[in-house]
Amino acid sequence: MGLDIDLQSIQEVRDLIRCAKKAQEIFATFDQRKVDGIIGEIACACEANAEKLAKMAVEETGFGIWQDKVLKNLLGSRITYEYIKDMKTIGVIHEDGAKGIMEVGVPMGVIAALIPSTNPTSTVMYKTLIALKAGNGIVISPHPGAKNCILETVRIIQEAAVKAGAPEGLIGVIRLATMEATDALLKDPNIGVILATGGEAMVHAAYSSGNPAIGVGPGNGPAFIERTADVKKAVQRIFDSKTFDNGTICASEQSIVTERCIETQVIEEIKRQGGYFMDEAQSEKVARFILRDNGTMNPKIVGKSAQTIADMAGIQIPSGTRVLLSRQTEVSKKNPYTREKLCPLLAFFVEEGWQEACERCIDILQNEGAGHTMTIHSEDTDVIREFALKKPVSRLLVNTPGALGGVGGTTNLAPALTLGCGAVGGSATSDNITPLNLINIRRVACGVTELSEIRSKYRVPEPERPDILPQKTEPSCGGLTAEDVEAITRAVLAKLRG
């Protein structure tokens, strides 16, 4: 009788990690130029297959729009490569002779990369590029719902990497994707760091594994349209974001918050651009459909169009509707409209002024998505500054679509598909993750002063010391030297032998 599938998957993980570790030890001897050549070839191969892999992802998962996934694949490959290609990550990465400091990039080893089903192919590309740029190996754990497109992406990457000179085994992927396999990957002592992108449970498992981890929880970013905003552009940007790949990027907007004085103008513009405000009965019906009895969001809505969601929930909406909206006044875990919805569905809040809107945005973020991302549409620099000072987010995006702004597509943030949420969001960092998050830095520091000089500079008195005792001397042996004693001893011994 053969081994159970879970035991086979655990053994597969151990084998993959062992091979990746051995390959990474060789890879760690490569210089910056050789590493950069390898990741350049990987980026080219991913770019060449961007459309094919995008279509595979949509066909397998049922999430999103293939044309938008092409752009995501380019973000995860070419755009990421262009951003990281000139980074110093291998060997001496910084030197300051005047201060006597030298910094050396040290790879973390083998990266465990968990891949979500919402952005499967693009996340594989991105995580592989940043892992290898930092001198690491990588073992990829696919989401079971996107396994085939992930395996094909890895195959393309492996082929390009080996052809460019990477050691065999440097890039591994779990083919027997089970919960036991993922658990074994996370807890293996040979893992240098975990890159976890996905739901709260998975991120918690990564941080509970005993290995270092960089995890990303859910987003739930509100979009505030302030009275000085260009309302037409604000709505356009929000809708561009929320409909991009049908809202599967976690940085996409989840609520609109606006001021009473421009409420009518905002509503009219939303309707003009294809938004549909559900009535109370429709909102209730959709709410019951999207929130399951166990308090989690219904995965059937992920990456689906507004029309598909309406059909599944059993409501009638106008033809051509791009985004569904529901008027709300309360924020809670039991209210699905005030949580992350990875589809073209938005809550809509109206507040008296920007101060009340500020508090409403904080309530939404503290309900879910703290530390992630939010957007503000405004021309008032003072209001923007106040939001920047108070919001519990790692990215405050100004006058730009949330989805593409957060991942560095329409902003100058680092291109990334893993967005740190900072301490407030339970993450180890607030960065858009780059290769610099995947190296340790060994610092070489030369002495530049003496202890006595430090004491003198800060006028710290010398500590009291006991009197120095005279050194002990060897017995004098009647005034004879050590050489005399040795000579006499040899003579005596010779005489005794004779």
Active site residues: 250
What is the spatial distance between Cα 240 and Cα 245, in angstroms, rounded to a whole number?
Answer: 10
CA neighbor of 362 nearest in space, from 336, 341, 392, 383: 392
Spatial CB neighbours of 109, under 8 Å, sequence gap ≥ 6: 21, 24, 136, 137, 190, 191, 192, 193
Q: How many Cβ atoms from other residues are within 10 Å of residue 143's Cβ?
A: 21
The DSSP-derived string for 166-188 is PPTTSEEE-SS--HHHHHHHHH-
Burial status of residue 427 (CB atoms within 10 A of its CB: 0-12, 13-18, 19 or more): buried
Local structure of 339: helix, strand or coil: coil
- The Cα angle at residue 197 between residues 193 and 200, in degrees rounded to 5: 105
**Six-digit token string for 490:** 């040899």
The single residue listed with the structure tokens 């309530």 is 363
Residue 65 DSSP symbol: -
User: Residue 198 contacts by C-beta under 8 Å, 6 or more apart in sequence?
Assistant: 114, 116, 143, 216
Residue 149 CA: distances (Å) to CA of 89, 159, 175, 294: 30, 16, 12, 30
State the sign of the Cα–Cα–Cα–Cα dihedral 128, 134, 139, 140. negative
- CA-to-CA distance for 267 and 467, rounded, in angstroms? 87
Q: Determine the Cα–Cα distance for residues 286 and 284; give it in Å rounded to an integer.
A: 6
